[in-house]
Structure 1
């Protein structure tokens, strides 16, 4: 979900909350006016500041309910993740805007809760009351999401929500204390916010200072091999070696925009007809005209995917063809596929070229290109993950034996919710590559295995 969409969601529920608060205020006003001489006689009216705080709190709670439940239908598998900081580890290894976004939005979600409670009643100026109620609220949200299928129960969400409430409480009490007791005695209240800011700045600063990026193949949870039967009928070298590191043609948003204009220009498109729907990690463009297209460009390696929507027209169907005809049809997209690429049919009208680590000087070409040919003689779907990388430097990597020891420790991604493994047979190991979060093509060890009866290739970082 793009940040713009999240802001749009919050805006929509803000209007819902505003209407609800105005209706409740009108009802309360009528009841108050009707009972002020009978039920409330002799009692002081509620202060205006508290009324405003109550209205803001009610509106805020409506927004929380909308964002956490009403914006999505049921359908989750009801997963439970009690591993603290697992979402932080996942966000670190993937290092995508989307993953960090959800962590910080979970923190931000309960900041208003901590801000408003001390304004509602003096009792909530005691930390135990506000933090305790915040813990009860976030526990209720996670439990209801789990029971109703509207989400998962995640320990990190509890932690992040509670941290947000503590930050909000500190902000309110810090401002109150600043007026009553001065700067020095109010400073501790701002500590949670300062701590999050310092830790976040240090984390992202360290990431920027690192030479290479993070690898998504590193798991947030290690696989459990304690009870597994592990077999390996091959010997692993204990000698380290030097391997090249390459870099992908990383795109900025501006470069992706230029690529899209040039790409659509080959198809006769007008730049004024291009609609930009970009996300943080990829650029998404739609060309409106006689024929509509959608182009998504991945920033990390410049790969892209094209859809020609004329495939939906009556009579348009995938059709088989030969390689040369397909190459000629792809030429209009500016594609020049290496002659050494392995070519195969993947379905009706669907074909795939594969290049496996083809070295040419200081360059390495790797990946696949998939195209779907139609009965009008054109290609209407292209998924170009065929990338040419430039050599950056050579680095010393760990030995096969060291990589195998990491494998035995469960340091590999299984792409499965089940992390307990019963049997693992290692059949082969070779050097491969994996793209990191900064666009570097890092060497990794690829272990070809049979895991619980299924053929798997398990990747372990080599650096």
Structure 2
């Protein structure tokens, strides 16, 4: 989930949070008035009332965002792997993952910011820290027992840091207001946490841009515990290293390319952009309308370099082969004219309503080649009502030869499996039986578009098909 998705989820919640807060504050105010009439001596200021109102609204929003907006799908999972979020963000090189880290801190900043306004006792750092830990622990526990989230140390850390940052900011404001001048020491304290993360992320950017190759998402944030797994190797693995080819695809993680293709589709099909570009994970999304007001969505994937243009709502009936052929000729010329269809792509039809162009390459030629190559496919579902296709899916990869690189042997890669240095969706558990039956050299794209060699090991995990990727360049 990225920041746009969070905001979209947040907007419908705000009215509910405000109404709930108003309701509770209303009851509290009536109770307070009644209390004062009965001779109560406790005084509540306007500032305290407003702070309570904001804190209640904040709490409702946080509970909905973190717990009640989710389905019961997590089965009480826990993650005690501190800093694994940062490792995962680095391997993925994902803006969405980074946004989640920042959002988890910003989400709790109001707690530390508002607590000092409730009472002078709550202006002590230790008390604010304790309250922050208690609240975030409570939320994580509720997520775990309701199966609506994962109990994560990383979330607790970021929530508490966010609350402390809010507290330091309010402390600086109160110091400056009380003394009627800017207190440099307090202001600097308020900047400690923001500046630390600015420095941390800046260093990560510098390191990333100074190294040649990008990051591989197949690297694990935390290794698997292999002591509890029975691993059996049922094939012989070569111990010799070799040199293989390295390629690069400049369409990947290249927003400029995505914008250029979006502009080409807009011009080619006479579309008009509606709104601004949206971000959803690794996808960049544009919405267009045609002259009749129909909406079309263009999606560019940073991670794979592919893109698609589609329209929801219309279905296409099966067509005769000769009619599909005519559509193929028409759209083929159009795609060639927009410089997205390679002239050597092989045309075919499928499912009686889909056009397809393919370029296939032999893996042996890729491994030992020394020239550029293109592989992949383009699929298009034509519309029988207008010239704009119902669905256009571009997954054609243009790979430029870079150089030869030395890779580790299959036997060395297998050692990474024994060490648990691989990423899988569900962690291995005590008593698992893993049989390695075969391997092959394959390629995947890294975060800079380099087509890196990897070993693909296949086998059976407790009798079911299993495979894992191990980086070959180490």
TM interval, short-chain normalised: 0.7 to 0.9
Structure 1 residues 328 and 448: alpha-carbon distance in aligned structure 2, compared to 1, 3 A threshold: farther
Q: Distance in 2 between matches of 1:182 and 1:293?
A: 55
How far did residue 380 of structure 1 move? 3.9
Alpha-carbon distance in 2 for matches of 1:242, 1:109: 47
CA 366–237 in structure 1, closer or farther in 2 if over 3 Å, else same: farther
Offset, 1:202: 2.0
Question: TM-score scaled by structure 1?
Answer: 0.82
Q: Distance in 1 between matches of 2:51 and 2:165?
A: 18
From the superposition, tell whether residues 324 and 408 of structure 1 become closer, same or farther in structure 2 (CA, over 3 Å).
farther
**Structure 2 residue 212 is the aligned partner of structure 1 residue 211:** yes
2:329 maps to 1:328: yes
Q: Structure 1 6/95 Cα, relative in aligned 2: closer, same or farther at 3 Å?
A: same
Q: 2:410 is matched with which residue? A: 400
Taking structure 1 as reference, are residues 341 and 10 closer, same or farther at Cα in structure 2, changes over 3 Å only? same
- Residue matched to 1:233: 235
TM-score, length basis structure 2 = 0.81
Q: Distance in 1 between matches of 2:184 and 2:436?
A: 64
Corresponding residue for 2:139? 141
Kindly provide the CA deviation profile for residues 250-296 of structure 1, in whole angstroms up to 9, marking residues without a partner as x.
465454333223224333x33x2555552163232333334653321
**1:127 aligned onto 2:125:** yes
Contact 2:436 2:457 in 1 (8 A): no
Q: Which residue of 2 aligns with 1:365?
A: 374
Given that residues 245 and 394 in structure 1 are in contact (C-alpha distance below 8 angstroms), is that contact kept between their aligned partners in structure 2?
A: no
Residue 330 of structure 1, CA deviation: 4.6
Match of 2:116 in 1: 118
| Gap change, CA 1:303 and 1:117, over 3 Å in 2 | same
CA spacing shift, 1:265–1:191, aligned 2, 3 Å? closer
Structure 1 portions without partners, runs of 5+:
none
CA distance in 1, matches of 2:285, 2:403: 32
Q: Distance in 1 between matches of 2:458 and 2:33?
A: 77
* Aligned-residue offset at 1:55: 2.7
Larger deviation: 398-407 or 358-367?
A: 358-367
What is the distance in 2 between the residues matched to 1:446 and 1:80?
Answer: 29
User: Does structure 1 retain, via aligned residues, the 8 Å contact 2:91–2:219?
Assistant: yes
The superposition leaves residues 362-381 of structure 1 with CA deviations (integer Å, 9 ceiling, x where unpaired) of 31323444455789999743
2:259 is aligned to: 257
SS at match of 1:136: helix
User: How much has 1:139 moved relative to structure 2?
Assistant: 1.6
Q: Which residues of structure 2 form unaligned runs of 5+?
A: none
Find 2:50's aligned residue among 52, 64, 67.
52
2:245 to 224, 227, 243: 243
Alignment match, 2:395: 385
Backbone CA RMSD of aligned residues: 3.7
Structure 1 residues 301-450: aligned runs within 5 Å: 301-309=304-312, 311-312=314-315, 316-318=316-318, 321=321, 327-328=328-329, 330-331=331-332, 332-334=334-336, 336=341, 339=344, 353=358, 355-356=360-361, 362-371=371-380, 380-418=390-428, 421-430=432-441, 432-450=442-460
Q: 1:374 to 1:187 in 2, by over 3 A?
A: closer
Matched, 1:288 2:298: no
Correspondence list, 1:177-192, <5 A: 183-184=184-185, 187=188, 190-192=191-193
Q: Secondary structure at the match of 2:375?
A: strand
1:222 is aligned to 2:223: yes
Give CA-to-partner distance per residue, 1:23-48, whole Å, 9 cap, x none.
Answer: 555554444445534323xx363233
Q: Distance in 1 between matches of 2:344 and 2:327?
A: 13
- Paired residues of 1:318 and 1:372 also in contact (CA < 8 A): no
* Alignment partners' CA distance in 2, 1:273 and 1:177: 50
**Distance (Å, rounded) in 2 between the aligned partners of 1:344 and 1:327:** 8
Quote the Cα distance in structure 2 between the aligned partners of 1:126 and 1:427: 61
Contact 1:247 1:441 in 2 (8 A): yes
Q: Secondary structure at the match of 1:279?
A: strand
CA separation in 2, counterparts of 1:443 and 1:407?
17
SS in 2 for 1:36: helix
3-state secondary structure, aligned to 2:278: coil
The more displaced of 413-422 and 164-173 is: 413-422
Secondary structure class of the residue paired with 1:197: helix
Report the count of equivalent residues. 454
Taking the aligned partners of 1:296 and 1:453, their CA distance within structure 2 comes to 38
1:6 and 2:9 aligned: no
Alpha carbons 1:249, 1:389 under 8 Å: kept: no
Query: Does the CA-based 8 Å contact 1:222-1:411 persist in structure 2?
Result: yes
Contact 1:342 1:355 in 2 (8 A): no
